[in-house]
Amino acid sequence: MRSVITGTGIGVPPHVVTNEALSRIMDTSDEWIRVRSGIQERHYAAPGQGSTDLGALAARQAIADAGLLPGDVDAVIFATMTPDHVLPGNGPLLQVALGLGDIPTFDIRQQCSGFLYGLELADLFIQSGRYRRVLLVGAEVHTPFMPWHLGWDTVIGLEVREITEAERMENTASRDRTVLFGDGAGAVVIEGRDGAAGLGPIRLHTDGGGAGVLTMPGASFKRRPFVSHAQIEAGETLPVMSGKEVFRSAVTLMPQVVREVCALSGVPVEALDLVLVHQANLRIIEGVQKALGLPPEKVPHNVERWGNTTAATLPILFHECRQNGLVQPGMTLVFTALGSGLHWGAALYRT
C-alpha cells in the first residue's frame, strides 16, 4: 500500500498587495523587490482572518477534490508557525470549522519545512494502518508580524494618506524581510492505495546549530512578560535572519537531499519530471535548479504571485501544477524545502 495524494485545495486571502503598494509606506520599489526576490505581489489576510480560516478554505477544497465528505477524514495534521492562538493549536479549531467530529488532530511547527514533515507523519500513519485518510494543511498568516500598525489601510488601498517620515523609516528598517512574506493556505488529502503511485522515499534533517540563522527573538517564554512593547519597538517580534547564510544553506542542502531521495529510489535526478521547491525566493529556487542541473521548466515556481507563505508554499504550488496540467499521471517528482531550525528535507512522489 502506498500513500497517495487524492485531493488538493488552496485558501486565498482577499487583499492582493503589489510591490508598488508597499512603496507607499516604505523606501522600496518594484524593481528593488523583484531583483532580490522575484516577488511581484502577495496576498494579505483581512483583519480578524487567521491561518485556521485560510486552512479551512483549502481543506474544504481538498476534501471535495478527493471525492470525500468531511466525516471520511480519520486524522488532521496542521502545519503552521502562525497559529491563531498560543493555545489551543489550529487543529482543534479546524476540526470544529469543518465538522470533523472528535478525530485526532496534530499541530506541527517546522516553519518552511512544515509541509514536508507533515507528509512524513501522514505516510507513517497510513503505512502503520493507524489511519486510512489524513488531511494535511499548511497555512500561514504573516501579516501580524508586520510593523505597519498605522499603514495597513494605505497598503491595501482602503485609505490614501501621507505616511510620516518616522513611520516610513520604521517600515523601511525591516524591508529586507517583510516584503518577502504573504498569507495563504494549501491542503492535501492523503489516502492509502494499492499501486505504483504514492509517496516515498522521504528524508528529513535538522541542524539545531543553525537555529540562529533564522529566528524570532521576541515573544519568548523565557522572558517576563513573554512579549512587551519594548520587544515590538526593537523589532524582536519580526523574523531575524542572516540572508546570505540562509541562501547558502538552501542552495546546498536542498539539492543534497533531493539527490539523497533519488539515490534511495533508484531514480536519476535528470529523470525527474518535476522538482517542487519551497517558494521562499526566486533566486533560491533558481540556485537549486542550477545545482541539480535541471532545465527551468522542470522546476516550476509561483513565488512571483504569492510571496513566501512558509508551510503553505508546497501545497499551493502542487495544487496549481495539478490545475494547470503540469502534473500528469505517471510522473515522478520531488518536494523539497528548507526553513528555520534548520529543518530541511525532500519527498519523492509518483503520480
Cα 5 to Cα 193: distance, rounded to the nearest angstrom:
10
Q: For the chain, give every domain's residue range.
A: 2-193, 198-350
- Between 149 and 322, the more confident residue is 322
- pLDDT, position 201: 98
- pLDDT, position 132: 98
pLDDT band, very low/low/confident/very high, at 92 (cuts 50, 70, 90): very high
**CATH architecture type of domain 198-350:** 3-Layer(aba) Sandwich (3.40)
What the block records as the C-alpha cell of 345 is 528535507
What the block records as the C-alpha cell of 218 is 521576541
- pLDDT, position 214: 87
**Is 262 among the residues known to form the active site?**
no
**Averaged confidence pLDDT in the chain:** 94
Q: Give 298-305's long-range contacts (Cβ < 8 A, gap of 24+).
A: 298/272, 298/273, 298/274, 299/274, 299/275, 300/274, 300/276, 300/326, 301/38, 301/277, 303/37, 303/38, 303/39, 303/279, 304/38, 304/39, 304/40, 304/41, 305/40, 305/41, 305/42
- pLDDT, position 166: 84
Cell 498605522 belongs to residue: 150
- pLDDT, position 151: 67
Task: Report the 10 Å Cβ neighbour count for 176.
Answer: 13
Pairing of strands 133-140, 75-79: parallel
Catalytic residue among 15, 19, 90, 112: 112
Say if CB 80 and CB 138 are below 8 A apart: yes
- pLDDT, position 4: 99
**What whole-number percentage of the chain has pLDDT above 90?**
77
**Is 308 among the residues known to form the active site?**
yes
- pLDDT, position 240: 83
At 64-85, the pLDDT tens digits run 999 999 999 999 999 999 999 9
Say if CB 107 and CB 91 are below 8 A apart: yes
At 6-39, the pLDDT tens digits run 999 999 998 999 999 999 889 999 999 999 999 9
Catalytic residue among 19, 171, 281, 308: 308
Say if CB 177 and CB 238 are below 8 A apart: yes
pLDDT band, very low/low/confident/very high, at 158 (cuts 50, 70, 90): low
Helix (H, G, I), strand (E, B), or coil: what is residue 70?
helix
- pLDDT, position 152: 67
Residue 264 burial class via C-beta count within 10 angstroms: exposed 0-12, middle 13-18, buried 19 and up:
middle
At 214-225, the pLDDT tens digits run 888 888 888 888
Cα 300 to Cα 297: distance, rounded to the nearest angstrom:
6
**Is 171 among the residues known to form the active site?**
no
At 120-134, the pLDDT tens digits run 999 999 999 999 999
The verdict on pTM exceeding 0.85 is: yes
At 261-291, the pLDDT tens digits run 999 999 999 999 999 999 999 999 999 999 9
Q: Do domains 2-193 and 198-350 have the same CATH topology?
A: yes
CATH class name, domain 2-193 = alpha beta
Instruction: Compute CA distances 153 → 82, 148, 184, 229, 238, whole Å.
Output: 22, 10, 20, 22, 20
State which amino acid sits at residue 55: G
